[in-house]
Amino acid sequence: MQVVRGNDGDAVMSTIMNISSIATATVLQSMHTVGRTISLMLIGKKTGIDDLPDELIREIMFTIMEPSTRSEKVDDKLSIISPIVSENNPITPFPLTRVCRRWRRIACTTKSLWKSIAIIEPSFKHVHRVKLWLTYGDGYKLDIMLRQSYSVGDEERRATAEILAMLVQRVQKWSNVEFHFTENELPSLIAHHIHMIRHPNPSMLQTAIFSHQSRHMDIRERARDVWGSLQETTLKHLKWISPAPAMAFSSANIQTLNTSCFTFQVLLDTLRLCPNLSSIDVELLNVPPMDADHLEYRVEYPNLRSVAMKGHKTDIATFLRLHCLPSLTSLELDPIDVTSFIHLRGLILRSECTLRQLALEVRNVQALDVAGWLEQDFFQELETLSISGAEINDHVLFMLTCPPLRGNRPTYFEKLKFLFLGQLMSNVDDGTFLRMLGSRSRCTAQDRVGEGCHEYEVMINSCAESGLCIDFA
């Protein structure tokens, strides 16, 4: 390799032998991204790229492999991991092994470079690379994503089996796993080996996402086996999408749970058996609601911060009536009606919690009812508000305008950052809507002092007079 100096003094690599075009581009970009440390070293000491220490070469490699974006959401953590073959994410460690012999040695012995692997629509072309990948990262914790295509053919089914046969041998090293199996697919290898995460030594498993849609009895039995093996482990985050009804989950370590296979009774049992659960997102099975009119007890879950529930309105009302959630900050309910809102109000007042996010899918609720809900003091700390299923009238829009158009009107939702409303009534005044939208889109807390929004107010008035209409659906 040669290193040449440009007019601006930055060091760039001018020749890289035996490397693909993708690798060339990423290496060149990383040399610029790493910063002027390398540049000054090369210029000051007049050394070549081959004279850089192994540690610095590793830093270059890590920079190349670093995802361009990060997300704290559990669901997104595995969506940015390094793939083996993916058109959307073409960067893998393999091109680093083809720069030169030295880079190959460093890449192949740096196990953390091979910590995550994604196999999209498995085929025979993946099998050899998976074997190499696992060899280079042997002994290091492993993040896995395996996603089958919508229609699984014979090659994909056989390739999936071969790949899983290699992956399950390192089940104790799984850290974050995401498996998406197509209908009629839940490989027996998963069911037969997943229990190994429980013994003889504790596993590294932190996050697991499983989805399959098969209703075949034998596959549903496999699903129950996997579900049972995940309990009382190191697992902290679980997303489980399956048509098979599940028994309650039990774990002192689980913190977030997302599932679509609970009855309401199983949900109550799971909350009791998972004392450290902080977030639950559940879509209840379509079965008759539980008869709970005779239940009067109150259960407090001090760690539960986020609840999202979709199911029968009777079960939702029962949940709101029976619980106390002092740490609750985020709540999503689908559906909710006027009766359920009475229990929602009771839950919030009883819990003395501060809601930051609220999403409601309402049923049989008039705009006047919505206005009454929004006036509640305990909603005024909201940063996210979503109400769908009810028509919105001018009065609600006046309430949502901040600052209010008239000085004697109260101000609502000063901290609101995201707003979603279902559908405007046909007789809503365009100007009222546009003023609300403008006040929320442009004005900041500092703007609201004095004339900060005057220019934008003039523009909104002009739009209203010209008859501009926006469908807020």
Which pair of tokens denotes residue 84? 């083996």
What percent of the chain shows pLDDT beyond 70?
74
**How far is CA 93 from each of CA 66, 84, 224, 234, 249, rounded to the nearest angstrom?**
11, 9, 36, 29, 38
CA–CA distance, 326 with 300 (Å, rounded to integer): 8
**What is the rounded distance in angstroms from the CA atom of residue 302 to the CA atom of residue 327?**
6
Which residue reads 């959307």 in tokens? 88
Domain spans in the chain, listed from the N-terminal domain onward:
365-473
pLDDT at 346 over 90: yes
Task: Provide the pLDDT for residue 407.
Answer: 65
Decide if 124 contacts 49 (C-beta within 8 A). no
Question: 65 or 331: whose pLDDT is higher?
Answer: 331
The set of residues, in sequence order, having a beta carbon less than 8 Å from that of 342 and lying 6+ positions away, is none
Q: Which helix (H) or strand (E) holds 386?
A: strand 384-392
pLDDT band for position 192 (cuts 50, 70, 90)? confident
> What is the pLDDT averaged over residues 384-395?
89
pLDDT tens-digit readout, 425-450: 888 888 888 888 888 775 444 444 44
Backbone φ and ψ for 344, nearest 5 degrees, come out as -65, -45
| Structural tokens at position 88 | 């959307």
Give pLDDT, residue 215.
65
Return the SS3 of 183: coil
pLDDT higher at 349 or 81? 349
Contacts of residue 239, defined as CB under 8 A and 6 or more positions apart, other chains included, come to: 74, 75, 208, 209, 210, 211, 257, 258, 259
Residue of 342 and 213 predicted with greater confidence: 342
**Amino acid occupying residue 68:** S
Structure tokens at 328: 């609750």
The answer to whether residues 263 and 287 touch, using CB atoms and an 8 Å cutoff, is yes
Over 50: is that where the pLDDT of 469 sits? Answer: no
CA 82, chain centre distance (Å):
17
Average pLDDT over residues 276-281: 97
Whole-number Å distance between alpha carbons of 226 and 267: 19
- State pLDDT tens for residues 35-49: 445 455 555 555 566
Tokens 């070469």 identify what position? 57
Secondary structure of 57-69 in HEC code, one letter for each residue: HHHHHHHHHCCCC
Q: Is 313 exposed, middle or buried (0-12, 13-18, 19+ CB in 10 A)?
A: middle
- For CA atoms 261, 262, 266, 270, the dihedral sign is positive
β-sheet bridge partners, residue 357: 330, 384
Greater confidence (451 vs 86) lies with 86
Which pLDDT value is given to residue 437?
A: 84
Residue 110 in contact with residue 140, Cβ under 8 Å? no
pLDDT at 283 over 60: yes
Residue, of 88 and 274, whose pLDDT is higher? 274
